[in-house]
Structure 1
């Protein structure tokens, strides 16, 4: 989200997990009026998605931004960069040489926000619940390497894994592993609506208008016990229809912080050297969010690999970024961002510079008649106001080649996602903010069993050999399995990566803590915000 010329490290090789106790304070400075944070994320409870904030269902950056404030996890991502550290746990670590047995000891005296004691059985219940429900978002797949969960007494939890998984500590830092109270969450059914009950740094009160949550009110949880220092007593997250309306609210002082998603024009204005607006500060963070086109590989329009490869050969990422996002994004030639250990430029290695002639040859060799008629689907209200312009540029590039006859169609997020999961789109645009900052999390969610896109694409070598092999390797930069996976994706093109972008946060000048309000997975850490006095 947004900028003071601060760039947090984004090169994130997976470090070997350690068994370590970590102390911390559950208190912090605060007081005064609530800090109000603006977002263009929309939160709706619909017939197709009635439980948007259930940890066993939620799997987008907006809902995770709510859950990370309210639901506590065994592990958490530290400030800036680095391996996960214990949070609800006092200590966690692998206890065998094969990285297949992971043990955690809970902090003494943990309580849910209602005062109920938390036990190891609650941790087991919470994670097994997500694995049992198997929501169609695919979030449960983050726990796919878990075989069984054992408890010893009230404070010890032992995870027996099906196979070695060096990324498992990261997975325990995600909201799907959040600890929930069995009194509030049924074992085999999602919890509808916007209520969230956990043991995180805040409690949540949702203000709604019909089926939409318009404001999330976070109040400091008096029972919270963990590593996080909470620097305020209350934060309110207000949802806006568009970035321009959100920007005007910041100018008027109706909100204190502006987060996702700002327009390129807003970022340019706030970052210009000539800007005289001394009351607002822009913070930029080296982001790991990516954008891509996804394919329903069973749809008649794109079931031929030649069609997908021809699109990869025609699309000019550099022009796309320049025309739409400027310096706020850069071309991406793999699902894994360039700043993440294990990245390769697989698509550039395969296709080189854009070439209509090469694309035409691919289609002719496969006996594909041209122009190929396609509809590119995108969401109008989830990835920012520039999304429509981005798809207009993609449409023009493909149509100008003479090989495609492309139309574009925009749909609101609450209707877009159910349609995508039902396989109604042949080609559609999506974004990805990592669950955790490791190459595995830019590959497995799209390519493993129970993938988050519900994609019919399945490559047995990736699923059965390469992903398991990569999870055994702690040196991510030299992991050959990761390289091979990226090469296969470039060859088969089930997904076409487009660009990766920076993240920005704009805040009024009396707000502190903005440097760390986004973690290395681009998720909000509202407890970092304070008012008036810097740390």
Structure 2
């Protein structure tokens, strides 16, 4: 049976909770063989980063894809998006009008996969542990607004926040808020290796070779108590070298589902020439790509250089040449599908205005051509990344204003080097921790940001970001977010390039695919089941 593209709409930045196509019921088929899912994410324990699956360290989509299945959070974002709802909790809510005190009550009978009961003390321990470890990955920043945590008996936990934060329920749905066992996770030390002890819908076992996970096996947790409806008994996550190798495995029936990161060529081929027995599912994505700048580095310290780059690039040509229908130009850190988005970069720079690029450099007294290296990772965001940076290099060099070279590095080296400030200019992607405009602003611009960026704008950090969090109605913060986006366009500490869509290919006997990847490109494996997908 030939299947083409299935699309779910976006409404003010979240996926509309409407089922597209068939096969997404709440009742699952329990038995059958394991559903095998392919990915190009790699899970590696190194000497410097030996704890890739510890919630106090993990801050990438691949690691979160394992933690989502295994470690429970108090809240979760429901199927299709929307406001968070209780997961390990039976109820949660703010107890004051200032949005600074938040109380949760746990479900009865929660227990970890090691058999130990889960209580409010474990919740307190787990979140305080993330804050105490304060890992350089920056993941702790999601919880940094917590002032104190107190418990009331075994089932109640109360969070007192430093400042008002209407996004706090979202933060309690993210893996750093995951509840872990004291027995297996030391209070001030990361847990090395690939073992996970949680209370989520699955237990987990990793097949490891030479410090790298080659297969992750998720088995339904019989003791799980939560809000999720588990549709299968077992899922295997197989890691592939690249999209081409993963695609061959799908064609041969060695895997049932192909997830991130499919190549643009694969998406185009499957869209135009559907294959028997395979369906392609398209979902709205909230992924963005951008250039980041070390604003203390000599080559880009003067914002005139960063502004000239913003004038000299052509997003439309970049997207068309490299990504086709998989992406669209982005003119703000906040994607166009998220409420409060404005086209601040287009309003200031347009697309490829070389006379203005030359003028801004001349006015600042900067000699041209400006010599810079653009750094990118070769193995983290998909096979098209190299072509993307070749295109950026050619665009900038053809202006006559820049002398650009590019350098690709494996993620295991790239990310630590970027965090240490070794790159003046670098390319990265962002998959939101939660679908709120704050999560496209604070992680880049607030103190303790995950980029470890030296850029520090007091107006942003002390006035506008806190102000934006006081609004429970997020659309009411539109003016504040507009001011933030205009400041970013003026100073260019980061330069947004494009936002992407999410694609999944699967065999026709797998249902639930349309719900199995959320807008942040995270896997929700419990949604998959064997059955007719049409």
Q: TM-score under structure 2 normalisation? A: 0.96
Partner of 1:18: none
Question: What's the CA shift string for 1:23-75, capped at 9, x where partnerless?
Answer: xx999432111111000011111122111110000000110011000000000
Partner of 2:22: none
Rounded to whole Å, the distance in 1 between the matches of 2:525 and 2:124 is: 27
Asked whether the equivalents of residues 375 and 426 of structure 2 are also in contact (C-alpha less than 8 Å), the reply is: yes
3-state SS of paired residue (1:44): coil
Q: Flag the 1:42–1:94 CA change in 2: closer, same or farther, 3 A.
A: same
Partner of 2:214: 214
Partner of 1:101: 101
Partner of 1:11: 12
The 5-angstrom pairing of residues 439-454 of structure 1 reads: 439-454=437-452
Q: Flag the 1:58–1:3 CA change in 2: closer, same or farther, 3 A.
A: farther
Question: What's the CA shift string for 1:11-31, capped at 9, x where partnerless?
Answer: 2379xxxxxxxxxx9994321
Partner of 2:49: 49
- What RMSD in Å do the two structures reach over aligned CA positions? 1.6
- Listed as ranges, the gaps of 5+ residues in structure 1 are 15-24
Rounded to whole Å, the distance in 2 between the matches of 1:521 and 1:432 is: 9
The 5-angstrom pairing of residues 336-351 of structure 1 reads: 336-351=334-349
Question: What's the CA shift string for 1:97-130, capped at 9, x where partnerless?
Answer: 1111100000011111122110000000000000
Q: Flag the 1:13–1:325 CA change in 2: closer, same or farther, 3 A.
A: closer
Asked whether the equivalents of residues 91 and 104 of structure 1 are also in contact (C-alpha less than 8 Å), the reply is: yes
Asked whether the equivalents of residues 261 and 383 of structure 1 are also in contact (C-alpha less than 8 Å), the reply is: yes
Q: Flag the 1:202–1:127 CA change in 2: closer, same or farther, 3 A.
A: same
Partner of 1:260: 260
Rounded to whole Å, the distance in 2 between the matches of 1:27 and 1:324 is: 41
Q: Alpha-carbon deviation of 1:321?
A: 0.3
Asked whether the equivalents of residues 77 and 519 of structure 1 are also in contact (C-alpha less than 8 Å), the reply is: no
Partner of 1:235: 235
The 5-angstrom pairing of residues 31-430 of structure 1 reads: 31-272=31-272, 274-275=273-274, 277-430=275-428
Asked whether the equivalents of residues 8 and 80 of structure 1 are also in contact (C-alpha less than 8 Å), the reply is: no
Q: Alpha-carbon deviation of 1:7?
A: 1.4
The 5-angstrom pairing of residues 437-476 of structure 1 reads: 437-476=435-474
Asked whether the equivalents of residues 14 and 80 of structure 2 are also in contact (C-alpha less than 8 Å), the reply is: no
Rounded to whole Å, the distance in 2 between the matches of 1:343 and 1:478 is: 13
Q: TM-score under structure 1 normalisation? A: 0.96
Rounded to whole Å, the distance in 2 between the matches of 1:301 and 1:9 is: 40
Rounded to whole Å, the distance in 2 between the matches of 1:307 and 1:190 is: 40
Asked whether the equivalents of residues 316 and 354 of structure 1 are also in contact (C-alpha less than 8 Å), the reply is: yes
**Number of aligned pairs?**
522
* Larger CA deviation: 351-360 vs 400-409: 351-360
Q: Structure 1 residue 29 and structure 2 residue 29: aligned?
A: yes
Asked whether the equivalents of residues 513 and 527 of structure 2 are also in contact (C-alpha less than 8 Å), the reply is: yes
Asked whether the equivalents of residues 166 and 473 of structure 1 are also in contact (C-alpha less than 8 Å), the reply is: yes
3-state SS of paired residue (2:487): helix
Q: Alpha-carbon deviation of 1:8?
A: 4.0
Asked whether the equivalents of residues 371 and 402 of structure 1 are also in contact (C-alpha less than 8 Å), the reply is: yes
* Larger CA deviation: 427-436 vs 521-530: 521-530
Q: Structure 1 residue 508 and structure 2 residue 507: aligned?
A: yes
Asked whether the equivalents of residues 292 and 430 of structure 1 are also in contact (C-alpha less than 8 Å), the reply is: yes
Rounded to whole Å, the distance in 1 between the matches of 2:472 and 2:147 is: 21
Q: Alpha-carbon deviation of 1:171?
A: 0.3
Question: What's the CA shift string for 1:112-159, capped at 9, x where partnerless?
Answer: 112211000000000000000001110000011111001000000100
Rounded to whole Å, the distance in 2 between the matches of 1:93 and 1:142 is: 18
Q: Alpha-carbon deviation of 1:351?
A: 1.1
Q: Alpha-carbon deviation of 1:81?
A: 1.9
Question: What's the CA shift string for 1:175-226, capped at 9, x where partnerless?
Answer: 0000000000000000111111100001110111111111111111111100
3-state SS of paired residue (1:180): coil
3-state SS of paired residue (2:154): coil
Q: Alpha-carbon deviation of 1:473?
A: 1.1
Rounded to whole Å, the distance in 2 between the matches of 1:176 and 1:250 is: 33
Asked whether the equivalents of residues 10 and 81 of structure 1 are also in contact (C-alpha less than 8 Å), the reply is: no
Rounded to whole Å, the distance in 1 between the matches of 2:27 and 2:268 is: 37
| Structure 1 stretches of at least 4 aligned residues deviating more than 4 Å after TM superposition | 25-28
Partner of 2:517: 518
Asked whether the equivalents of residues 309 and 359 of structure 1 are also in contact (C-alpha less than 8 Å), the reply is: yes
Q: Flag the 1:27–1:145 CA change in 2: closer, same or farther, 3 A.
A: farther
Rounded to whole Å, the distance in 2 between the matches of 1:463 and 1:194 is: 36
Rounded to whole Å, the distance in 1 between the matches of 2:519 and 2:257 is: 19
Rounded to whole Å, the distance in 2 between the matches of 1:239 and 1:534 is: 24
3-state SS of paired residue (2:421): coil
3-state SS of paired residue (1:281): strand
Rounded to whole Å, the distance in 2 between the matches of 1:406 and 1:487 is: 27
Q: Flag the 1:10–1:518 CA change in 2: closer, same or farther, 3 A.
A: farther
Q: Alpha-carbon deviation of 1:271?
A: 1.2
Partner of 2:19: none
- Listed as ranges, the gaps of 5+ residues in structure 2 are 16-24
Q: Alpha-carbon deviation of 1:6?
A: 2.0
Asked whether the equivalents of residues 10 and 286 of structure 1 are also in contact (C-alpha less than 8 Å), the reply is: no
Q: Alpha-carbon deviation of 1:3?
A: 7.2
3-state SS of paired residue (1:37): strand
Question: What's the CA shift string for 1:425-460, capped at 9, x where partnerless?
Answer: 010000000000000000000100000000111111
